Amino acid sequence: MASLLLVTATMSCRPSGADRPPVIVTDVEALVNDVQGFADRTTGGRGGRVYWVTTLADRGRGSLRYGARRRSPRWIRFRVSGTIQLRSPIAVRSNKTIDGRGARIVISGRGLAVDGASNVILENLIFTDGRDDAIHVTNGAQRVWIDHCSFARWGDGLIDVTRGSTDVTVSWCRFEQHDKVMLLSADPRHTFDRAMRVTVHHNHFRGTAERHPRLRFGKVHTYNNYYDRWTSYGAAASMRGELLSQANVYQARWWEQEAVLTHKGRDPEQGYVRSEGDLALGGARIVVRNPERVFDPAEFYRSAVVGAAGEPLATAVERDAGWRPVEMREGPPKTTPAAACQPCGLPTLHARVRSRPEMYLGSASQSGISGSTRCASMVSDSCQPRQHASGGNRDRRRHLAGQVRIVECVRVAKALVRHQLEVPSTEAFRRSQERNPANRRRSRVVAPGRRLIQARTGRSSAGRSDRSAAAHYSPLRG
């Protein structure tokens, strides 16, 4: 049975927050601690390399498209500000963060597609004046977080989540000057969308028409959103979709305007709606149907922080939602103890030893720090132990390969420090060869900057040939 909630009060208009002071950020990757809702396990490109966008061109090295299509994890940041005019949608691969903080990036023409990818964060971007969908999450994509983005004047939908995609959170975004805002499941025949789970919180829908969101089949939790004078209807659920509307502010344009519906269009079945603590103003109408059949968010996550609906909430959402100026004040890079690291995805060990040979020679022992300790810390920096906690076979192989590299590094570093080998320069080596050709058995220079270290022939205290151990660092071997 359906019921109606109707309130006659109105809320005063507030000034826009476009001129608010910049937000100060000191830790870039701490962003992942702020995600709430169904996508609260999303980490994006954390632990991967930082990719800097240096051009506003559609494609090519240094472009947004080039970084988004890399296969390995990337935290994408911007050294430029301006409009990126896309000729075709950008397919964002898994384990990516597109972080627009510290710049003002406008995406126009075409949008972003998260097609079958997982673990993606889209942060602090502006989408305006394009066609098709601004952001399309489709084909089983999962763990996608869209945060602090602004949307306006797009050809089709602003955010569409379709074809079995799930665990999506849309937070602190601003939607304006548009008709169809957010579609969750595109067809009443797509029964596989029953697995869809979406959280929509702290968004400002300003003067948009409909679909805030429009749901079929799945589960949606909307809380602390500000629906500001929509023109058609607020949110709708059909095809047995479950919509929990909690502590939202619905400010209608006219009396008995539809805020939440349980049926829309030609869908043959209605949805289920439960309203908790919503504030319906100006004659907004909320239709509730079978609230006992709507899911309980506590069964899926406890990361949601739900405030009370009221004027302070609406003021905060109107002020802070959407793109915002951010000033990046990053501190010194963090160092990770070698014992806590599992190295993976690093440059080859041989390249590191060639670039800093003095770290493993006499200077290491003279400073009171063993070469093995320095070796372990150099090989294991910039790693993330959590990255492979639930990874596939490829991640586990990389994890084990990293352990093998650090064991080899420690063993060979001990041999180098024990024998106090020195790496001669090219000129010094030539002079020593002229004086004593027998030195050819001790060391050989392959090329300036690419040295092959060979120890004297003999047995070490561990019973292993030092010459064989040191030869592992040959640049001629993989």
Same domain, 355 and 309: no
pLDDT of residue 331: 64
Same domain, 289 and 348: no
pLDDT of residue 256: 86
The answer to whether 474 and 452 are in contact (CB under 8 A) is yes
pLDDT > 70? residue 47 = yes
The answer to whether 359 and 379 are in contact (CB under 8 A) is no
Same domain, 7 and 90: yes
Same domain, 397 and 281: no
**Which residue range is the domain that position 452 belongs to?**
338-473
Whether 356 is in a domain gets the answer yes
358, with CB counted inside 10 A (0-12, 13-18, 19+), is: exposed
DSSP for 398-441, please give it. HHHHHHHHHHHHHHHHHHHHHHT-----HHHHHHHHHH-GGGGG
160, with CB counted inside 10 A (0-12, 13-18, 19+), is: buried
Residue ending a domain, choose from 294, 328, 362: 328
Question: What percent of the chain clears pLDDT 90, i.e. is strictly above it?
Answer: 62
Whether 257 is in a domain gets the answer yes
Cα(400)–Cα(185) distance, rounded to whole angstroms? 41
Question: Could you tell me the two tokens for 34?
Answer: 């702020």
Closest to 320 in 3D by CA, of 103, 14, 66, 59: 14
Same domain, 316 and 346: no
Whether 424 is in a domain gets the answer yes
pLDDT of residue 21: 86
What does the pLDDT average to over 191-208? 96
Same domain, 378 and 406: yes
Taking each helix axis from N to C end, the angle separating 371-379 and 393-419, rounded to the nearest 10 degrees, works out to 160
Same domain, 374 and 315: no
Same domain, 295 and 344: no
Whether 333 is in a domain gets the answer no
Report the sign of the C-alpha dihedral through residues 459, 461, 467, 468, in that order. Answer: positive
- pLDDT tens digit string along 399-412? 555 555 555 555 55
Q: Report the domain count for the chain.
A: 2
Average pLDDT over the chain reads: 78
Whether 478 is in a domain gets the answer no
**211 tagged catalytic:** yes
Same domain, 186 and 265: yes
Residue ending a domain, choose from 295, 328, 361: 328
Whether 420 is in a domain gets the answer yes
Question: Could you tell me the two tokens for 405?
Answer: 């590299």
What's 286's domain CATH number? 2.160.20.10
Same domain, 108 and 16: yes
When mean pLDDT is compared across 203-217, 237-251, 287-301, 430-444, the lowest value belongs to 430-444
- From the list 110, 211, 285, 405, the catalytic residue is 211
- pLDDT tens digit string along 271-289? 999 999 999 999 999 999 9
- pLDDT tens digit string along 77-102? 999 999 999 999 999 999 999 999 99
pLDDT > 70? residue 307 = yes
Question: Could you tell me the two tokens for 96?
Answer: 């990516």
- pLDDT tens digit string along 108-136? 999 999 999 999 999 999 999 999 999 99
Beta carbons within 8 Å of 365's beta carbon, 6+ residues apart: 371, 417, 420
Whether 46 is in a domain gets the answer yes
Report the sign of the C-alpha dihedral through residues 28, 29, 30, 35, in that order. Answer: positive
pLDDT > 80? residue 391 = no
- pLDDT tens digit string along 147-189? 999 999 998 999 999 999 999 999 999 999 999 999 999 999 9
- pLDDT tens digit string along 222-277? 999 999 999 999 999 999 999 999 999 999 998 889 999 999 889 999 999 999 99
Same domain, 127 and 151: yes
Same domain, 9 and 99: yes
